[in-house]
Structure 1
């Protein structure tokens, strides 16, 4: 939002300046310049949210943006600070006024092992893959591995399947398999998802840790 506002203000300022100086310019060329400027300003966010595998840089990015409750929540949940994560969620709820926060609450309750609350939030999650992923996670917590397998088979994203396989391996205390699944899951993820998986299973030492 800040970047967009900067571009709008900058665009108006440039337009006024060009008009004042009576300088002719190509409108579509000006639009292209604005688009390129927006891409340049947004690259840092895109890089750390979706592309990077540098844990330290992603964490510094989250720390700088932690004044926004969404990023604060990711940072605290990934590091297991559940009370602080809940504070961020409460703030997010106030800011977003209840819109599409169910997935974050379900993730929080699952991490806090409050499975009844996590189940209550499932019906409010619109994204089918995410809802199924959380259902599989709940089944793993309940040691119902057969049901977890059934939910896992419905997932379309490889990292989700691997993360559930990792959780099941941990639930069965098969730590060598869990390490293997951790490495496979990290290999197919980037950005914030990579950061969350890495931090959550950091205790499982593997080749890329």
Structure 2
């Protein structure tokens, strides 16, 4: 809220100043666009662009009133009672079947409910996301070779690294799992980096 008020104040001052000096309207629009872009970057940096995990965590803590951030923080930190409450609120807010499929897949994998995860994955339309969840399901079922085969087809390097890390972790090869986990984390930003870091936190020894 404070950030919004500051932004509105800046826009007001710029508008008044440019209007007072009768600045060309094209320059006026360029200036406003520049300020707006900077504002949006600052606003969404913690969830989309930053490499600072602590900054993302602070953002999630501060925005617990928003169901999706409430769910992400609860899942990442294994807050069991909060997870149940959060997933209910998320599914209540987001009615789209495809969006719900993503949330249910994530929640089901977290709860090790493989059958429900499989059912939800079938409704996911983006291929790389569908394959990513399918690979994670295979890992849960102990089908590690199948998981790697699916992972190798995915058009996302961080997803491939994550699957490899999970496979090696399942095999008990912590060193290789750690190396792949670090690669996946390095190739992500914002919330995705935070989720991966929290997922592999125990094997990272606090080092990236």
Question: Does TM-score exceed 0.5, indicating one fold?
Answer: yes
Q: Are the structure 2 counterparts of residues 37 and 140 from structure 1 closer, same or farther at C-alpha, using a change threshold of 3 Å?
A: same
Match of 1:151 in 2: 150
Count of matched residue pairs: 205
Instruction: Return the structure number with greater helix share.
Output: 2
Match of 1:75 in 2: 73
Q: What are structure 1's unaligned runs of at least 5 residues?
A: none
2:89 corresponds to which of 88, 91, 105: 91
Match of 1:43 in 2: 41
Match of 1:126 in 2: 125
Residue 109 of structure 1 pairs with residue 139 of structure 2: no
Tell me if the contact between 1:166 and 1:182 (Cα under 8 Å) persists in the aligned partners. Answer: yes
Q: Are the structure 2 counterparts of residues 5 and 69 from structure 1 closer, same or farther at C-alpha, using a change threshold of 3 Å?
A: farther
Root mean square deviation, CA, Å: 2.8
Question: What's the offset of the Cα at 1:89?
Answer: 2.2
Match of 1:57 in 2: 55
Runs of 4+ in 1 over 3 A off after TM superposition: 2-15, 21-25
Match of 1:165 in 2: 164
Q: Are the structure 2 counterparts of residues 28 and 96 from structure 1 closer, same or farther at C-alpha, using a change threshold of 3 Å?
A: farther
Q: Are the structure 2 counterparts of residues 39 and 123 from structure 1 closer, same or farther at C-alpha, using a change threshold of 3 Å?
A: same
Which range is displaced more, 194-203 or 87-96?
87-96
Tell me if the contact between 1:137 and 1:164 (Cα under 8 Å) persists in the aligned partners. Answer: yes
Mapped partners of 1:80, 1:53: distance in 2: 22
